[in-house]
Amino acid sequence: MIHHESQRSWPVYLRSVSGESVITDGWRNVVRDLQLTKQTLLRLRIMDMIKI
């Protein structure tokens, strides 16, 4: 789940690709709703540690 400071949230999924964690399903909704551009810098904070 991605939570934004505006109190909005989006369900997303993490997948392991070549040993890296990658955000997959749901990411397009985040980009669309927040109107993110290629110049956008995101800071992500892990809230709960899980094993994928």
The tally of domains found in the chain comes to: 1
Does 49 map to a domain? no
Is 39 a domain residue? no
Q: What is the pLDDT of residue 51?
A: 57
Q: Which two tokens stand for residue 22?
A: 């990658």
- Tell me if 14 is assigned to some domain: yes
Residue 27, domain extent: 2-34
Task: Look at residue 14 in the predicted model and tell me its pLDDT.
Answer: 85
Cβ-based burial of 47 (10 A; exposed 0-12, middle 13-18, buried ≥19): exposed
Q: Which pLDDT belongs to residue 36?
A: 94
Intervals of the chain under pLDDT 70:
49-52
